[in-house]
Structure 1
């Protein structure tokens, strides 16, 4: 009697997407739509920005965050229960955080750094505590996902470094919670203050800003490295997947070690960029108005990355074309 084995695909475990994180992304898409309508019909300004701009930006960021973590958890085969619970905490806390942001928008109040009333102060402190829980839960998800090696080494390390840099980007928000020199002077004089902390450095929040992002054009803005750091979660894995997709048509990328080295160079460049943007912001310097020192540092970084990339591709060209990638 002749028996046949089932196809290999049938033997693979079913991939279960993390439903709470997918629900988070779906809820944030709804928030984005509501916020977009709010921008059209509500002309209120909160601290110099359109009232619905913050939930719009937060909604987009949280939607990407939830979808990315949900995808990454499908790649994990170890500690899956731990990853599921940590991902669920991420989803619940993220939705609760957005609920507080929306509450303040409806009230016409700023949600961050607001100490104007006891209620505002309580909400801001609660948001800070929830962000800490969110960071810890994201860290646990990162550990679970990082335990798994992917078939493509570049993707394995892109995911690991993307998660790590995203966690660092989240921590950069704590720079914003420190009182500004002006706020500290008021506190030392026992005078009431309506805010403790700020996005901007060297200038008050609510001044001239870039369209869409709202980043300051007259001083430093810590939201910039915060944003860039958090979205390493998407940028680095996408780069590695792009390199794999291009490898079949471009002989220089056909070797797995070449793709890995290019990913590591990009990671180093991304890390240095976060550091450079943080340094620039802390010096009270607007993104679009860098001084000579900042331009020199940026130029040096670009030159180093270009030399390293050229060296990797040159070595790949000399070594010849291996078999195309399997993933």
Structure 2
């Protein structure tokens, strides 16, 4: 009897890189939340660990969304060098950004808009490059959903993932690009001025972050709309109105912030 007489062992498939990145991001959510419970220092009037926590939550949602979309793609696309390289670049961007944000929070020092020294100015620029890589990665996955003929995607879901990811990338470039070039995300706010609970957005002056939030989450909203369209036999072409309405809402919130008006005044 030889080894060939026994069936090959087929254990569970290893988790995908995107699933690993989702788990890593969630671990950072737990870490930063726990750290915040024992470290009550403030930075510019905000708990010092709130920014690392928010970014960890955002990365968890991002990579979980990409992982769910990737599962629907054909094996050829999932194993392609295009998506492998895209995932690797996004992983490097996330790890580098979170490491810097956490390190600066530990020192009770701002990570964003901090150009006080050559080092912090360089790191802020590198974070901008990383953010651009993440946005481009989302667009690549969107294009893959639209082009993969073998994907397990009904018409509405394919449209929602493809155009939702592309719309999210485009809107994020506008909102995040403006914040980066302006060097701030909020107008001149007095110390102790009201902010929206949980989000921390200004409730007294214009704040770009609500528009940025909408831009980021187009990649969840449009796929959900596509899924509902498939389940209710709604023609795909009607989803264009959802995309237009979502874009108009994001643009309106963005314009409101540029006019100096808060999303909600408290």
TM-score band, normalised by the shorter chain? 0.7 to 0.9
CA contact (8 A) 1:24 1:95 kept: no
How many Å separate the matches in 1 of 2:155 and 2:218?
18
How many Å separate the matches in 1 of 2:83 and 2:64?
15
Q: Kindly indicate whether residue 264 of structure 2 is the aligned counterpart of residue 288 of structure 1.
A: yes
Partner of 2:220: 234
- Following TM superposition, the consecutive aligned residue runs of length 4 or more in structure 1 with deviations greater than 4 angstroms are 204-207
How many Å separate the matches in 2 of 1:205 and 1:34?
29
Structure 1 residue 120: Cα displacement: 1.9
Q: Which is greater in Rg?
A: 1
Unpaired segments of 5 or more residues in structure 1?
A: 1-15, 180-196, 248-252, 291-327
* CA offset digits 1:227-268 (Å, max 9, x no partner): 111111112212332444xx4xxxxx3x342xx355333222
CA contact (8 A) 1:17 1:73 kept: no
Q: How many residues align?
A: 248
SS in 1 for 2:101: helix
Partner of 1:219: 205
Q: Kindly indicate whether residue 181 of structure 2 is the aligned counterpart of residue 174 of structure 1.
A: no
TM score, norm. by length of structure 1: 0.69
CA contact (8 A) 1:75 1:148 kept: no
Structure 1 residue 123: Cα displacement: 1.8
Q: Kindly indicate whether residue 211 of structure 2 is the aligned counterpart of residue 209 of structure 1.
A: no
Pairwise CA RMSD: 2.4
How many Å separate the matches in 2 of 1:18 and 1:41?
33
CA contact (8 A) 1:73 1:83 kept: no
How many Å separate the matches in 1 of 2:223 and 2:136?
22
Q: Kindly indicate whether residue 15 of structure 2 is the aligned counterpart of residue 31 of structure 1.
A: no
How many Å separate the matches in 1 of 2:118 and 2:204?
32
* CA offset digits 1:141-183 (Å, max 9, x no partner): 322222135542211111122101210232111111234xxxx
Partner of 1:137: 137
Partner of 2:245: 269
How many Å separate the matches in 1 of 2:192 and 2:179?
14
SS in 1 for 2:161: helix
Farther off after superposition, 148-157 or 120-129: 148-157
How many Å separate the matches in 2 of 1:151 and 1:144?
12
TM score, norm. by length of structure 2: 0.84
CA contact (8 A) 2:195 2:203 kept: yes
CA contact (8 A) 1:21 1:90 kept: no
How many Å separate the matches in 2 of 1:262 and 1:17?
39
SS in 2 for 1:127: helix
